[in-house]
Amino acid sequence: MTQQQETVFVISAHSADFVWRAGGAIALYHQKGYRVRVLCLSYGERGESAKLWKLGKTLEEIKAKREAEARKAAEILGAEIRFFDVGDYPLEPTKELQDAIVQEFRQHRPKFILTHSLEDPYNADHPRTTNFVLECRILAQAEGYPSEHPIIGAPPVFLYEPHQPEQCDFKIQAFLDITSVFELKRQAMECMEAQEHLWNYYTDVAKRRGSQAVRNGGDKSIVHAEAYQRIYPTVGSELV
């Protein structure tokens, strides 16, 4: 990897979130030649590992299992991955985590950032992560924030689709065609053995979004897509 590559950041509250919600984008941008960095704030060891708890695994065993799953998935998708292990249910960002993410942004200079929805009444860790990421982006833009790296510009932030979008006030503003990389996403999903019940669910979501992408003017060859909501406005000399 070289610093000349454009970098995409995916900030994931739990170790599997990036796979279900942005696995297609990760694989697609990796194939386009981008460097993709996935930052997992927790392993999802308490709230998203029910199967492992029922099997009698210890907390440390569960963390190790979820990390191994996520590393394997990231490798399939073509992403680098870093874990922070700040706990989940609840996920509570610390000042140390805040500085670590700011320095990540300063050093690697994201072309754009993908993270969770702004609302999720089923999982407080997700919107907490989003607001945390937005604050870190602001700090990474501040001349006075201490860092050996220069400030960043204004990378767009896209929110990936939550599990129950209708309840999360999620507004689809972009469809990303992931047809060409969907098999990689499916392989990555199947790495997440602790949440096997979600494999087919997110396959169905991708098919549904693919159909909607075609309905909204996309090429008829689109079969699978991911949905995103944008935080900041686009800027240009033309609207389309």
Give the pLDDT confidence of 84-132 residue by residue, as tens digits. 999 999 999 999 999 999 999 999 999 999 999 999 999 999 999 999 9
pLDDT of amino acid 4: 65
Per the CB < 8 A criterion, the answer to whether 210 and 223 are in contact is yes
- Which of 26, 61, 25 lies closest to 45 in space, CA to CA? 61
How confident is the model over 11-24, as a mean pLDDT? 98
- Name 207's Cβ contacts closer than 8 Å, sequence gap at least 6: 223, 224
> Quick one: pLDDT band at residue 2, thresholds 50, 70, 90?
very low
Per the CB < 8 A criterion, the answer to whether 64 and 45 are in contact is no
The pLDDT tens digits for 133-147 are 999 999 999 999 999
* Mean pLDDT for all residues in the chain: 96
SS3 of 87-132 = CCCCCCCCHHHHHHHHHHHHHHCEEEEEECCCCCCCCCHHHHHHHH
- Which of 122, 133, 130, 131 lies closest to 47 in space, CA to CA? 122
